Structure 1
Amino acid sequence: MLYGKEHVDRYRATDGAEGHDWNNTTVLLLTTTGRRSGQKRTTPLIYQRHGDDHVVVASKGGDPAHPEWYLNLEADPEVEVQVKADRFRARARTATPQEKPELWRLMAATWPQYDEYQTKTDREIPVVVLERLAD
């Protein structure tokens, strides 16, 4: 089972042949710019497609605080995404209250633990839409 830095390294080295399919779901690599350090940070995240967009959840396992990658993209929404061998720039945004119910259902169908995570925290877990930018 791949986790953390090892997951990122194997995914990159194999263009996702190792690491894209994980625990009966799919994973992309999201690279944000550190809001304090300015350094690039890459996180493997469960995703689904919604039209042309990719959708991820800032769950942090139901922790009371948002994950670092989410705080980073709030400060700088221009991100890099890798899905298998496809690498592209995207703009990240939090789903609107109108969009969220449908996108939450999509993601919870993929990873049912998201519903459990939401019951563990008072914060509203954000759903993030990654919109591909033209090259």
Structure 2
Amino acid sequence: ILPGFFAVVIAQIAAVEYSLPLAAFLQPRFQVSLQVLEAIFFAILAIGIIFLIHFLFQFLSLLVSVEFRPPLNNIGAAIFGGLQFLLFLSLVVSFLSYFQIPFMNQSLMERSISGPYLAPASAQVHDFFIQWFPVSWRAIK
């Protein structure tokens, strides 16, 4: 559960932080609108980092294995599994909000109970965790 949780958190941070600078840097080469490139790079960064962290944790799990007693393990899995699901869902909602499709934006932001809470969650996770990143890793704004 923890590898997936960390993968989604790091993917949110990186996708929000680097999708716009990467799209702006590569826009002259692709001749596509900045918004489309930003959505594409958001998805590429998010998916790529989730897979990268997943494989990194698989490698680390070969090195170290820690077992907890079943009650503690089940409680931790329930808490972090739920958080991982919510963060992944907010990552998907953030990606879908890049597209200016009226019915989708209405569904996500107006008619949905959780949409207004999930859409800004990626930016909030980014703002919370970027504090601990070195300044040299941050995108120039």
TM-score > 0.5, shorter chain as reference: no
TM-score by length of 2: 0.23
Going by fraction, where is helix more abundant, 1 or 2? Answer: 2
Larger Rg: 2
TM-score by length of 1: 0.24
Going by fraction, where is strand more abundant, 1 or 2? Answer: 1
Higher RCO by CA contacts (8 Å cutoff, separation 6 or greater): 2
